[in-house]
Homo-oligomer: A and B are copies of this chain.
Amino acid sequence: MVIRATVFGENVHENKNPIVRSIYPDGMHETIAAALREDAGIVSSTVTLQEPEHGLTAEKLAETDVLLWWGHVAHGEVSDAVVERVVERVWQGMGLIILHSGHFSKIFKRLTGTPCALKWREAGERERLWVINRNHPIAAGLPECIELENEEMYGEPFSVPEPMETVFVSWFQGGEVFRSGLTYQRGSGRMFYFRPGHETYPTYYDENVRKVLRNAVKWAYNPGPAWTAITDAPNVPVETALEPIEERGPRLHQAGEAGYR
């Protein structure tokens, strides 16, 4: 059993900003995909915003067990049709890992139903991500905290739903805190938000960050068949009720009619 991970990279700053290009000459998505390949149980590929349908065709998504998402400056350029396609695949069971500035991606806002807003400061300050539950699968093999010497600050309040689990909480040098690792379930898909990864710092080369990415892919993987019927609203005819019942009272619908949506 090998997990098929797809990394979406916005791939804009890598081509416009010399600092970002010097850190991630092949694009951030390639660095992330390479981190995943260090685990023999994961195969990873990449897609970018610039490809037709951002590379996320129905076929590609059908072959994706876990999708990782890095975007920042071009959230608005992501096609609404692709967003809906990704969202449906999550409901059906695909795992989704939202990275850093992806908090404002259409997909994360769509799946949480919240603003996903936060405070921020770009000062290259020190961040420490403290592990809340040492034996959470996403924290496997980590020290008690991950220290990143230079990162962008994200500060609370982070307007997201209460998570299923808080996996990391960050300390920032300038005085703020942030819930940096949060898990959610949407339909049969698992979702993980992971905070670090500002494009002007070499965060995705950090060994602990790379370990989190691999752990998260394995945690988010759902081996079950795609739950394609999750959006259906089937009528159960009276005749096939599990307990014998007789129809009583008035009704709106004729037998076999679809419900209203």
Cα of A237 to Cα of B123 in the assembled complex, Å: 9
Residues of B within 8 A of A93 (CB): 135
Copies of this chain present: 4
Establish whether residues B233 and A118, one from each chain, have CB atoms under 8 Å apart when the complex forms.
yes
Q: A157-B132, A161-B185, A169-B177 are in contact. Are A259 and B200 (CB under 8 A)?
A: no
Contact between A120 and B248, CB atoms less than 8 A apart = no
Q: Quick check: A117 and B251 within 8 Å, CB to CB?
A: no
Instruction: Give the size category of A's interface with B.
Output: 35 or more
**Chain A facing B: main interface SS:** loop
Bound together, the chains give a CA A250 to CA B21 distance in angstroms of: 12
- CA A230 to CA B193, docked complex, whole Å: 19
A91 at the B interface (CB under 8 A): yes
The reply to whether A119 and B236 form a contact with Cβ atoms under 8 Å apart is yes
**Are A188's CB and B135's CB within 8 A?**
yes
Q: Which of A30-38, A40-48, A51-59, A107-115 is found at the contact surface with chain B?
A: A107-115
Check A227–B113 contact: CB distance below 8 A: no
- A73 part of interface (Cβ distance < 8 Å): yes
Is the CB of A60 closer than 8 A to any CB of chain B? no
Using A133-B188, A174-B245, A188-B135 as known contacts, say yes or no to A91 and B159 having CB atoms under 8 A apart. yes
Question: For the complex, is A130 an interface residue (Cβ under 8 Å from B)?
Answer: yes
Q: Which residues of B contact A233 (CB under 8 A)?
A: 104, 117-120
Are B251 and A124 in contact (CB-based, < 8 A)? yes
How would residues 2 to 14 of chain A score, 1 for a CB under 8 Å from any chain B CB and 0 otherwise? Answer: 0000000000010
Contact of A231 among B115, B124, B223 (CB under 8 A): B115
| 12 residue pairs A–B, Cβ–Cβ below 8 Å | A13-B252, A91-B114, A114-B186, A120-B259, A123-B241, A123-B248, A130-B177, A134-B230, A147-B242, A171-B175, A174-B242, A174-B243
Hey, which chain B residues are within 8 Å of A144, CB to CB? Answer: 157
Q: Specify which of B200, B224, B253 is in contact with A250 (CB 8 Å cutoff).
A: B200
**Is there a chain B Cβ closer than 8 Å to A176's Cβ?**
yes
CB atoms of A242 and B123 under 8 A apart: no
